[in-house]
Amino acid sequence: MRVDPDLEELQGGYLAFPSQSVLSALSARATGCTQQVRESFERLVQDQQMGDGGRYRFRRFSRLVARFSGDSLSLEPLSGHSILQSREDNPLNGGVLRTFEPLEPSTMECSLLQELIGHDAAAIRRIDPEFFQEPVVVGVHQVRIVALPESLGKPTPEGIHRDAERYTFQHFWQRQGIEGGEFAAYDQAKNPVFRWLQTEMLDSVLFTGTTWHSASSIRTAAGTEQGFRDIFLIDFDPI
């Protein structure tokens, strides 16, 4: 499986994978699931656990256990659909156990998501060869942020923050009728070091659990009644 050749750049805490570098690692069978996955975003569940009371986030979340045997990756479903972040890492939603509806079985079982996880795991193995010596927990977040003419959609309402997991891939999926939604990474002093307005399906960013990052708010484009931005977050952490 081909992955981006410049993985040493992750030393800065992040690494961009343009759409084509990800798509080229997926089979025709996987990319054939694109419409099925696109439709599944329409059935996400409104997140009622936002610390700011916002109703602009729709999501599902599932977990798996990943194991490598040689170069062969196996994925097994893991029970539990909850996350807990510290308030230091996430000052808005941290400190509270949040439980979500799982991804739909058809989405979890489709070859596109399975191969996307495989792409991510292969990239991480090149960066950190020891990481998969033991089983790894994989968290899959499917998220839609909605903007209305009277209200912004906030991909990261907590602002600049960190994720606790060792590695996370953010895979952009689609955007419609919006402006904004730019991903940004920061150094440890929270100075911006990277910005990217992702526009192509599977424009992706890998970042570490110590990387400060954010995404700017989205607003509806002129003449649009509703807009949205869809992503997958796939995180990897020791079991």
How do residues 51-85 score in pLDDT, each as one tens digit? 777 899 999 999 999 999 988 999 999 987 776 66
Residue 4: per-residue pLDDT:
45
Query: Taking residues 154-180, what's their average pLDDT?
Result: 94
Is pTM beyond 0.85? Reply is: yes
Question: What distance in Å separates the CA atoms of residue 141 and residue 61, rounded to the nearest whole number?
Answer: 5
Burial 89-108 (b: 16+ CB within 10 A, else e): bbebbbeeebebebbbeebb
How do residues 90-133 score in pLDDT, each as one tens digit? 666 656 667 789 999 999 999 999 999 999 999 999 999 999 99
Domains of the chain, start order? 14-136+143-238 (2.60.120.620)
Amino acid at 56: Y
Could you tell me if 221 and 177 are in contact, meaning their C-beta atoms sit under 8 angstroms apart?
yes
> Which residues are CB-neighbours of 113 under 8 A, at least 6 positions away?
33, 37, 107, 140, 232
How do residues 199-216 score in pLDDT, each as one tens digit? 999 999 999 999 999 999
Could you tell me if 228 and 145 are in contact, meaning their C-beta atoms sit under 8 angstroms apart?
yes
Residue 164: per-residue pLDDT:
83
Residue 239: per-residue pLDDT:
87
Percent of the chain with pLDDT over 90: 77
Residue 99: per-residue pLDDT:
79
